[in-house]
């Protein structure tokens, strides 16, 4: 077998399946929502959660679906409409930079997820979430200064590490979230072309960092973060700020995301 053939075989073997989702459905969850987020580590723009619903009637996911990070922009754009037609229903929710600044990134992720769930045509009996942290369930002692209530009832959440690689519906949700958020950043680029958002989608690319140092933040930046070149929470450019880096919150791990 040629090197290209071996690569194609490995690619096909790595394809996510609906095995996990179908087992959950057989275990008594007739309507299963599957979710993934994008934009958590971005310096600007919203954080976005995509949700795709599958049922016992769901057929195999469209060929080529993978975690959005493994696909080119052209591949994601080709797959997105196929996923929308394939899913029992789907939705995408966002939390804006001002909401991230006001409530923190985890609460903003929860807000985006709740907005996505609220937009579904079917009420899910459970939510399958990528990762090992349930950011969707409302804390028992939520702060009075937390985000507004969107859902009266939040479905039970099941987390699976690397679900975006293993579970086809989660990978499909990641593609819908990525394509919608990328479209938002591309539109915002027209008003702020200096930051290069059409290419970097708000992440810490060199041209974005250079523009932050030169021009400071826009209303679309997360100004409560330690933005490179900006004093946290002030919007003022710091003279001694590092040239490279990524936005961090206290206790947040460094997140490197490749914009596509």
pLDDT confidence of 228, banded at 50, 70, 90? confident
* Residue 44 resides in a domain: yes
* Residue 84 resides in a domain: yes
Lowest mean pLDDT across 34-38, 56-60, 126-130, 146-150 = 146-150
* Residue 167 resides in a domain: yes
pLDDT confidence of 13, banded at 50, 70, 90? low
Mean pLDDT of 177-185: 98
Give the N- to C-terminal CA distance of the chain in Å, as an integer.
31
pLDDT confidence of 104, banded at 50, 70, 90? very high
* Residue 75 resides in a domain: yes
What angle separates helix 168-191 from helix 73-86, to the nearest 10 degrees?
A: 120
* Residue 205 resides in a domain: no
Looking at residue 142, its pLDDT comes to: 61
- Quote the mean pLDDT of the chain: 86
Tell me the longest C-alpha to C-alpha distance in the chain. Answer: 62
Tens-place pLDDT, residues 125-172: 999 999 999 999 998 766 567 788 899 899 999 999 999 999 999 999
Structural domain tally of the chain? 1
Let me know the angle formed at the C-alpha of 156 by 153 and 162, rounded to the nearest 5 degrees: 135
CATH of the domain at 165: 3.30.420.10
Query: Which structural domain range is residue 174 located in?
Result: 11-188
Q: Report pTM.
A: 0.84
Looking at residue 244, its pLDDT comes to: 30
- Can you tell me the distance from the alpha carbon of 192 to that of 200, in angstroms, rounded to the nearest whole number? 13
Mean pLDDT of 10-18: 73
């Amino acid at each position: 077998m040629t090197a290209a053939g071996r690569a194609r075989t490995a690619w096909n073997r790595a394809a996510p399946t609906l095995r996990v989702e179908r087992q959950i459905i057989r275990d008594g969850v007739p309507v299963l929502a599957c979710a993934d987020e994008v934009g958590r580590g971005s310096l600007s723009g919203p954080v976005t959660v995509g949700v795709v619903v599958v049922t016992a009637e769901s057929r195999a996911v469209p060929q080529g679906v993978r975690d959005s990070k493994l696909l080119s922009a052209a591949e994601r754009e080709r797959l997105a409409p196929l996923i929308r037609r394939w899913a029992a229903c789907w939705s995408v929710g966002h939390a804006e930079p001002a909401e991230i600044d006001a409530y923190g990134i985890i609460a903003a992720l929860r807000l985006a997820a709740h907005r996505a769930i609220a937009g579904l045509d079917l009420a899910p009996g459970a939510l399958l979430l990528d990762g090992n942290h349930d950011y969707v369930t409302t804390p028992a002692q939520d702060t009075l200064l937390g985000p507004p209530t969107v859902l009266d009832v939040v479905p039970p959440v099941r987390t699976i590490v690397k679900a975006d690689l293993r579970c086809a519906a989660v990978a499909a949700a990641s593609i819908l979230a990525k394509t919608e958020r990328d479209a938002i950043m591309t539109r915002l680029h027209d008003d702020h072309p200096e930051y290069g958002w059409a290419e970097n989608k708000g992440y810490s690319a060199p041209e974005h960092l250079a523009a932050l140092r030169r021009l400071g933040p826009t209303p679309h930046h997360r100004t409560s973060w330690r933005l490179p070149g900006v004093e946290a929470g002030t919007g003022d450019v710091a003279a001694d700020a590092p040239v490279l880096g990524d936005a961090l919150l206290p206790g947040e791990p460094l997140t490197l995301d490749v914009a596509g």
